[in-house]
Amino acid sequence: MVKVGFVQPDGAVVTVEVDAGKSAMEAAIFNDVRGIAAECGGLCSCATCHVYVDPAWVDRLPPPAADEDDMLGFTAAPRLRMSRLACQLRLHAGLDGLLLGLPPTQF
């Protein structure tokens, strides 16, 4: 199991656990975490799973693929260096404890 913390706009952290191999989007959806709409179901075509990766974790993730990078141009909240799409973040043991901020625009 891999733990992921979703930081709400008020700073509260909702921590969930999912099997390795699931995406961070699935971790949120399966556990009813608010702030991830995932309208396209993880097909990298909606940008409603936008998250801000905690700065301590940014460089521990692989860079976005071209389709994720393109879709990050369509987020409702500003795109920042730590912006990622949660559906494209595949969880594994090395990411246990990952912290992802949720943009206020997704509430």
In degrees, to the nearest 5, what angle opens at C-alpha 92 toward C-alphas 98 and 33?
Answer: 50
For ligand FES, give the closer residue by CB, 10 or 40: 40
Task: Rule CB under 6 A: say whether 85 interacts with ligand FES.
Answer: yes
Task: Based on the shown chain and the rule CB under 6 A, indicate whether residue 89 belongs to the binding site for ligand FES.
Answer: no
Q: Is 25 in the site for ligand FES (CB under 6 A)?
A: yes
Residues 74, 13: Cα–Cα separation, whole Å: 26
Residue sitting closest to ligand FES (CB): 87
Alpha helices (H) in 1-88, listed in sequence order: 24-30, 66-71
Q: Which helix (H) or strand (E) holds 4?
A: strand 2-7
Report how far apart the first and last C-alpha atoms of the chain are (Å, whole number): 27
Q: What are the tokens at 83?
A: 């912006």
Number of residues that bind ligand FES (CB under 6 A): 14
Task: Note whether 44 binds ligand FES by CB under 6 A.
Answer: yes
- Tell me how far, at minimum, the Cβ of 72 lies from ligand FES, in Å: 9
We find the least distance from the C-beta atom of residue 92 to ligand FES, in angstroms, to be 18
